[in-house]
Amino acid sequence: MIGWAWRIALLALVLITLPAGAQPVDEGARLGDLLVGEMAQLQVQTRSVPDVAFNGADGTPMTLGAFAGKYVLVNFWAHWCTPCREEMPHLSDLQAEMGGEAFEVVTIAVGGNRAGTMDRFLEEVGARNLPLHTDPGGDLSGAMGVLALPVSVLINPDGQEIARFQGAADWASPEALELVRYLIKK
């Protein structure tokens, strides 16, 4: 059993290491009930999303503000990332199942990925229904604290980050689909 002094020290460490503006989310017991299986690794928190540009699928600069009004699962990836190769088909399935007016999967390739290489990657993994946005200089991913790939960030319709998953996940699993359905209905 941890003594009270250790609990205070642990709490202080957690508060010190939270990113600026981060706050725990109190979504009630229902959200907690949905954090099972692989989704139990989802880090639920609220923080603002930086207004930093990345390249849209057509190459023009855009920000995540373009997706205001809907839930967005932003996935940072790269073609050389082995876990990204495993995760991308699940993201594609999630977009096929849930994508629409209330929810969208937004994939952003980080770093110096060449267009032909990224196209082949998406073709090989069967994820042709995902956008090919890029963050070549890592400006957005850096501003959002992405230190390793893949990282998926769930953003609410107000443009706030509400959860983050570090590493590859099966976003088409029953647990993930139930979580997304719950959030969209809120």
Is residue 4 predicted with pLDDT exceeding 90? no
Strands 133-135 and 61-62, bridge-based pairing: unpaired
Give me the CATH number covering residue 143: 3.40.30.10
Assigned domain for 147 exists: yes
| Cβ proximity of 76 and 165 under 8 Å | no
| Cβ proximity of 180 and 93 under 8 Å | no
Q: What is the CA radius of gyration of the chain?
A: 17
Assigned domain for 77 exists: yes
Summarised one tens digit per residue, pLDDT across range 5-52 is 333 333 333 333 334 444 344 444 477 788 888 999 989 889 999 999
Q: How many domains does the chain have?
A: 1
Summarised one tens digit per residue, pLDDT across range 67-76 is 999 999 999 9
* Token digits of residue 175: 């647990």
Assigned domain for 126 exists: yes
Assigned domain for 79 exists: yes
Assigned domain for 9 exists: no
Residue with tokens 């980080």: 110
* Residues 6+ away with beta carbon under 8 Å from 85: 121, 124, 125
Assigned domain for 170 exists: yes
Is residue 111 predicted with pLDDT exceeding 70? yes
CA 67 to chain centre: 14
Domain span holding position 118? 22-185
Of the candidates 73, 69, 79, 61, which has an alpha carbon nearest to the alpha carbon of residue 139? 61
Residues of the chain with pLDDT > 70: what percent? 84
Q: Could you give the CA distance from residue 157 to residue 27 in angstroms, rounded to a whole number?
A: 15
Q: Tell me the whole-structure pTM to 2 decimals.
A: 0.82
* Token digits of residue 52: 């930093």
Assigned domain for 3 exists: no
Assigned domain for 172 exists: yes
